[in-house]
């Protein structure tokens, strides 16, 4: 396999502390041609940038994830006392770095008890930031479809709905609006009927592959620490829906990633 482009990864996670450099060094030989490494707050943004400078196939996305509003060890809480506006100001100069290709990971999350008004304001501020910088967004939407879609209709950002979990019906208008859809391990799970419906409904030029590693390892390695090489399993699952060879799925989706991120 070659041309594996992982559009959403978290190699800065402490779950890679023991072998991060050995693993990243091994990825190209495992077929990986690109990785968009996503920050979740200002505390990991510099680590994300460092990886993007050390490895030519790694690109950076910077942003404040909604969960950072409540995680005690996130910089949003630990350093800025929940003042995400101050944190976003501090983060802003890092976007001058040429290795930054997106604003992310940003979004809405109603799975965790995150204050509604604050996360909406944080997300809107980052959509405005992305528009001002001319960058696409890597968007997290967990159990918040209605609020998310209202904002996407209003702000019309460029970007990808990472780990897309909405319906095929919504995917059609989101695609028509220019958005991309990220698929990872969950598209290989037994109950992935909805993902298969979406994959059949949207233009193939709008589909991206991703890990969200260290999480979301696909079948047949589900439950293990994930890394970009496992995307080969996701490509195989999508290939069965599209009637395409896994390598053709990888080739197509890698080009889609280059189109969105301007590479
Ligand atoms: Zn993520």
Measured in Å, residue 160 CA sits from the centre of ligand 1 at: 12
Measured in Å, residue 67 CA sits from the centre of ligand 1 at: 11
Q: Determine contact, residues 63/104, Cβ cutoff 8 Å.
A: yes
Q: Determine contact, residues 59/35, Cβ cutoff 8 Å.
A: yes
pLDDT given for residue 229 in this prediction: 98
Measured in Å, residue 140 CA sits from the centre of ligand 1 at: 7
d(CA 230, CA 80): 36
Query: Tens of pLDDT along 200-215?
Result: 999 999 999 999 999 9
d(CA 155, CA 132): 12
Query: Tens of pLDDT along 103-124?
Result: 999 999 999 999 999 999 999 9
Measured in Å, residue 212 CA sits from the centre of ligand 1 at: 5
Predicted confidence band of residue 191 (pLDDT cuts 50, 70, 90)? confident
Measured in Å, residue 56 CA sits from the centre of ligand 1 at: 21
Measured in Å, residue 40 CA sits from the centre of ligand 1 at: 8
Sheet holding 58-62, edge to edge: 4-9, 32-38, 58-62, 100-109, 137-142, 159-161, 180-183, 207-209
Measured in Å, residue 181 CA sits from the centre of ligand 1 at: 14
Question: Taking residues 31-42, what's their average pLDDT?
Answer: 98
Measured in Å, residue 252 CA sits from the centre of ligand 1 at: 22
Measured in Å, residue 65 CA sits from the centre of ligand 1 at: 8
Measured in Å, residue 14 CA sits from the centre of ligand 1 at: 14
Measured in Å, residue 165 CA sits from the centre of ligand 1 at: 14
Measured in Å, residue 225 CA sits from the centre of ligand 1 at: 14
Measured in Å, residue 201 CA sits from the centre of ligand 1 at: 24
Measured in Å, residue 8 CA sits from the centre of ligand 1 at: 6
Overall residue count recorded for the chain in this entry: 263
Q: How many CB atoms lie within 10 A of CB 56?
A: 10
Measured in Å, residue 162 CA sits from the centre of ligand 1 at: 8
pLDDT given for residue 181 in this prediction: 98
Measured in Å, residue 86 CA sits from the centre of ligand 1 at: 23
Q: Before 105, cis peptide (omega within 30)?
A: yes
Which tokens is 214 given? 């260290």
Q: Determine contact, residues 185/212, Cβ cutoff 8 Å.
A: yes
Given a cut of 90, whether residue 190 has pLDDT beyond it is: no
Which of 105, 27, 96 shows the shortest CA–CA distance to 61? Answer: 105
CA distance readout (Å), 102 to 11, 90, 135, 178, 229: 16, 17, 5, 16, 22
Measured in Å, residue 228 CA sits from the centre of ligand 1 at: 13
Mean pLDDT, rounded, of the chain: 97
């Amino acid at each position: 396999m070659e041309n594996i482009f992982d559009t959403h990864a978290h190699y800065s996670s402490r779950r890679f502390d023991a072998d991060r450099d050995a693993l990243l060094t091994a990825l190209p030989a495992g077929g990986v041609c690109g990785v968009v490494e996503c920050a979740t707050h200002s505390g990991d943004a510099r680590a994300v940038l460092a990886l993007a400078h050390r490895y030519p196939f790694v690109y950076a996305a910077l942003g404040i994830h909604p969960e950072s509003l409540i995680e005690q060890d996130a910089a949003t809480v630990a350093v800025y006392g929940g003042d995400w506006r101050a944190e976003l100001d501090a983060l802003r100069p890092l976007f001058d770095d040429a290795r930054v290709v997106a604003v992310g990971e940003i979004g809405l999350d109603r799975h965790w008890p995150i204050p509604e008004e604050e996360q909406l304001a944080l997300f809107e501020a980052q959509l405005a930031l992305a528009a001002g910088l001319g960058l696409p967004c890597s968007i997290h939407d967990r159990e918040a479809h209605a609020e998310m879609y209202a904002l996407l209709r209003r702000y019309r950002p460029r970007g990808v709905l990472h780990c897309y979990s909405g319906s095929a019906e919504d995917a059609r208008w989101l695609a028509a609006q220019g958005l991309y859809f990220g698929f990872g391990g969950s598209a290989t799970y037994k109950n992935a009927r909805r993902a298969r419906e979406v994959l059949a409904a949207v233009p193939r030029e709008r589909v991206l592959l991703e890990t969200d590693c260290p999480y979301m390892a696909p079948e047949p390695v589900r439950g293990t620490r994930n890394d970009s090489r496992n995307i080969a399993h996701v490509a195989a699952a999508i290939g069965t829906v599209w009637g395409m060879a896994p390598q053709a799925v990888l080739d197509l989706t890698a080009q889609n990633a280059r189109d969105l991120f301007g590479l």
